[in-house]
Structures are given as structure tokens and as C-alpha cells.
Structure 1
């Protein structure tokens, strides 16, 4: 017999041994008034048939439970499975109890000694069958409760694993969106810089290479150190200031002790790019972008001076950041648009 099976839910070998021994003693004591410490003492001729009957019923019922769970594995079949299983178990228990009882009376008693009785044959028949039914139901209840608890635990684990797999797939999809988003915008920036200043274009390409190297390094990361993100942001800020000059003012004020906290990769570049894309950047209206920390959040604030004709948006910038934070935890990205400023608060992890 296979003892290790997920249809039982646990290694029940010790339970089987102790249970058979326990019921073999309990049934004669409880149902037939035999005693352990005082007369009338439980005789061997009564104990061993009870031991044989209990062991046969327990092992057989265990097999029936494993068979029924393999036969009806689906949750929607539980009611039908229990009806079939318990009917077979009760029928089997009664057949074994009466069959082995008759066998020991007719064959074994002459060989091993006749069992002493202080009850009538009718009382013994009724008591033994009642004991078989009640003990069998108790054992089935123990196995079923453990089985349902084990299946519930497995269901919770599988549900959590499915949830993690789904979140990971969604995060991967969001990260895939970032590369074309940055590529499109930075190539536009580079095409604008090359005709005006080829020397600066060389520096631009070097800094651009650093930014894209960072994109490749963090493409599979859910979060990175704020220090790493800010280092790459310096390169991205160089790219933007090369194009806009004094018309763009970028201020980064982050305390050193905050540098070891974590942030969603590329979020600062996306926010800075959005600020430049959707606002006027000119000598008459310089764009100010300020990055600081406040109450466990990274605050990105820019002056609000919207363009009269907004550029067509791909719709994956700020929403991309929101979705990634939503998938990673309970703290959400906060957005506040005032009369003269636009503020995004990113949780630090």
C-alpha cells in the first residue's frame, strides 16, 4: 500500500497504528463492559479478534477513500463522492465486522481458545455493529477534515502563485512598454540637437548610451536603489539641458540617507520627459523641475504651463508608473495639479 499520497493529505502511518490499537481496546471496554484495571479484565481472546476487525476495517476504509478521491477529484463532485464513499465504507465495515466475527467464532475459537462472554449473542451482535459504524464514522470524519484542510491550503497556495504569476506578467508587459517610449522621444531629441551643435551631439550620444545601458540593466528589475535611479537621471537631465539650455531648470535635492531606499526603475525619466513634453519650455517661460523627498515619498514637481496644442500622447507615461506601483504594493502614486504646478509623489520602498 502507498502511504505517501496526496489523496490522504498527510503521512498517517503513526495515526493508523495508534488508532487501531486504541480502538481495539476502546471498543470492548466501552461497548462490552470489559475493564483494564479491575475485573472483569479484558481477555486476550476478545482483544485479538477486535484488533483484527479494526485493522481490516481501517485499512479497507482508507483504500476506499483514496479510490473515491481519485475517482471524483473535482470540487463540484464532492457531494456525490461523499455519498458513494460513505455508503461503500459503511457496507464494507458491516461486512468485515460480521464476517470476521463469524470466522473467529467458528474457526479461530477452537484453535486459540473460546472467547469469554458476559453478554447475550444478540447484545454482542448489536454492540459490535454499533461500534463498527460509530468508530468508522469517527475515522472518516478525521480523514475528511484533514483532507479538506489540506485541499484548502493547496488552493490558497495555488491562488497566490497564480496571482504572483499574473502580476509578474503584467509587470513584464509594462516594462516592455518603456523601451519604445524612451526610444521614440530620445531620437526626436537627438535629431533636434545634431544640426545645431555636432560637438554637443557627441556628448549627447554618450549620455544617451548611458541611459540605455541602464534600461537594459534594469529591464527585469521590479525596483532599484534611488541612488542608481538618480545617477542615470543626471545623464538624462544632461540630454534635456543640451537641447533646451537655460530654458530648462532641473533641481535635485535628495538627502544622502534616502539613497538606499528603492524606487520603480525609469520612473523619474518618464516623469521628467512628460513634464517637458506637455509644458512650454522657452526663454519667456522657463520650465522648472524640482525633485525632493518628503514623508517617505519622492516629490517631482514642475511648473504648470501647458502647451496650447498638446502633443499626441502614447498614454503609457504616468499611467505606466501608477500601474507598476499598484502591482507592487498598497502605496499608490499621488498626483496633484495646482494652479501653477504639477506634482507627482512616488512612494519610496
Structure 2
């Protein structure tokens, strides 16, 4: 609302109260007796309207106003009621001071009437302001919630698409083909694990959150496939406390970090890649040893940035990354949906 419109509405509010009080007291003819009376009446109405306008603007500039702070609304209520009561007193004083005593008898109840009407008007105005802010907050939260849900679905889709890359399937089928010729029993186990892995990727990848226990099962199945390719060059070690198994993480978060470790390092018999997963009641820590980096690292743009973005949608907790000469650490705080913003 513009300043001019706000001032005009405040002035009209006060002016309407003044006309009502004079009409109710049978004093409306007083305004037509002399231009001086009319000027004084308009002046005190303008001053009262200006007081309400300026006072309300000061309150609405406070950052807490948009948050529905109750104390500011109480101050607004007292401001409006006080100014309207004071205006009624000035109006009664003006009437009694300039009119004949026989006529002025009708003006001695203006203060009481003005205070009662001012009280009602103050309640209505504060209620309208508070309801408007409450509705605006509700609308903002609803829109933000819908936007977050849409972003979560988009990030989940991108993550799932990254897990189902043709490159991974091509390598897995080549490995299965070689095993069929050299070790049929292992080939059968590998193919079953591959099918199981894709089944769980599709099932759990579309869920926004998984329990730590589910995440570990996905990683263990994935590492079974990787063991066939890498053998003892890759070592996975879990140090998980049982009380943490039911806590939740963004879907496929741990597998993403394990894949990154394999992708950004070259494992060998002399320098095996060791991946360690630890968890307590607050977080999961995935760390891997740093070996020689591959010369070319193919990427489709899905990784830590996706994980950071998904965490951001669930609240203030964020992943933290630490790197030393020998190890790379990623801390994943657990997400508790009831506490998430």
C-alpha cells in the first residue's frame, strides 16, 4: 500500500468517527455554523489520521511484523485506540469550548462514545492486518513446500538416471560375458546380483529417503559387482553402530560416494582402494584412501552437487567434506523428517 493511500485511509477513518460522533450527539449542524469550526474539525482529524499512519508504518517496517509478532500487533491496537480516544476528547473539548452551554450538553459524552467505537475499530483493523499476514505466510509456506517437493523429484530423477547409465550396464554385461566363458557359476551369481542391483536402484532410488540399513544393503550389493571387476584391489569396511541403522539419509547417498571413490582413484594390488563407512547416532562418515587419479574421468554432472542440493531441501544440516593427502572424508548428517524445515 502506498504512503498516500495509507494516509488517506487513516484520515477517512478518523473523519468518519468524528462525523458519526457529531451526528449521534445531534451536533452535526455545528459544522455548518462557521468555517472556523469546520477548519478546526478537519485539522484535528488530519492530525489524528497522520498519527495512525506514521505509527503503523513504523511498526510495519519492523522485520518481526511479517513474522506475526504478537507484541507489535498489541502496540498497533493500543496506538489506534489511544489516538481515536484522544481525538474524541479533543472533539468534545472543541464542542464544549465554542458552543453555547445549552447546546454543548449533547457533546459531553463524546469521549466515552469515541473510546468504545475506537476500541471496536482498533480490534477490527488489527484483526484484518493479522489475518492478512497469516494468510500471506500460509501461502508462502505452501508455495515453498510445493517448490521443494518438485525440486526433490527432479533431483531424484537426475540421480536415478545417473545410476542407470549405459556405461555401467555395458561394463557389467562385458564382465558377465567373460565370466560365462571362464566361471559359469560365478557368472550366474553376478547376473543375479546385477538384476537385484537394478531392482533396488529403481525401487529405492525413487524414494526421497532411505534408512541406513537399506543404504548399506544397496552398497553391499553394488560392491559385490565391483569385487568381480576389481578383486582385492578394493576393500569395503563397515563400522556401524546398531542404533543408527533406522536413521534416514537421502536415497543412494552412500552408493554415490562409493562410486565417486572408485571413479576418482586407480586401485591396484600395491595400492588398494580402501573405503570405510562409519556411523553414530548423528551422522555417517564415508572416507576413502587416495590413490593415483585416472587420466580421464568421464562425468555426467551428477555427484556431490546433487547430494548437497538434496540436503538443502531438508533443512539447515549440510554435508561436510575434508581432504588430506591420504584420505577423502564426507560427513552425512542423518535427516530426521519431523525436525526438517
Range class of TM-score, shorter chain: 0.5 to 0.7
SS at match of 2:325: coil
Residue 177 of structure 2, aligned match among 175, 182, 195:
195
Distance verdict in 2 for CA 1:228–1:295, change over 3 Å: closer
Q: Which whole-Å deviations, capped at 9, do the CAs of 1:84-123 have from their partners, x for residues lacking one?
A: 7616743662475156999xxxxxxxxxxxxxxxx95423
Distance 1:124 1:99, change over 3 A: closer
Looking at structure 1, the residues matched to 270 and 202 of structure 2 have their Cα atoms a distance apart, in angstroms, of: 38
Aligned to 1:158: 139
Q: Give the C-alpha shift of residue 160 in structure 1.
A: 2.2
Taking the aligned partners of 2:314 and 2:236, their CA distance within structure 1 comes to 29
RMSD, aligned CA: 3.0
What is the CA deviation profile of residues 214-269 of structure 1, one whole-angstrom value per residue up to 9, with x for unaligned ones? Answer: 23333453322111111122111111112212221111221222211111110011
> Equivalent residue for 1:254?
240
SS at match of 1:186: helix
Give the 3-state SS of the residue equivalent to 1:179 in structure 2.
helix
| Partners of 1:289 and 1:300 within 8 A in 2 | yes
Alignment CA distance shift 1:95-1:345 (3 Å): same
Tell me by how many angstroms 1:194 deviates: 3.0
Q: Which moved more, 1:76-85 or 1:267-276?
A: 76-85
Alpha-carbon distance in 2 for matches of 1:138, 1:146: 12
The answer to whether 1:186 aligns with 2:186 is no
Distance 2:6 2:200 in 1: 57
- Contact kept, 8 Å, 2:19 with 2:28, in 1: the verdict is no
* 1:197 CA drift (Å): 1.1
1:188 positional shift = 3.6
Report if aligned partners of 1:189, 1:243 keep a CA contact under 8 Å in 2. Answer: no
2:249 corresponds in structure 1 to 263
Secondary structure in 2 matching 1:328? coil
Structure 1 residues 131 and 123: alpha-carbon distance in aligned structure 2, compared to 1, 3 A threshold: farther
Give 1:155 shift. Answer: 2.1
CA contact (8 A) 1:93 1:132 kept: no
Partner Cα distance (1:99, 1:204) in 2: 99
The residue aligned with 1:216 is: 202
- Residue of structure 2 in register with 1:342 after alignment: 328
SS at match of 2:306: helix
Aligned with 2:20 (options 73, 93, 96):
93
Aligned to 1:82: 9
Distance 1:77 1:229 in 2: 61
**Cα deviation digits, residues 140-180 of structure 1 (max 9, x gap):** 11211122122222222222222222222221111111111
Q: Distance in 2 between the 1:147 and 1:268 partners? A: 50
8 A Cα contact 2:152 2:313, kept in partner = yes
Give deviations 1:20-49, integer Å, cap 9, x for gaps: xxxxxxxxxxxxxxxxxxxxxxxxxxxxxx
Match of 1:136 among 117, 120, 125: 117
| Between 251-260 and 271-280, the greater mean CA deviation after superposition | 251-260
Shift of 1:300: 1.0
* 1:326, distance to aligned residue in structure 2 (A): 2.1
Say if 2:107 is the partner of 1:122: no
Q: Count how many residue pairs are aligned between Structure 1 and Structure 2.
A: 260
Deviation per CA, 1:167-217, whole angstroms, max 9, x where unpaired?
Answer: 222211111111111111531431431332134454333223323332333
Conserved 8 A contact 1:210-1:232: no
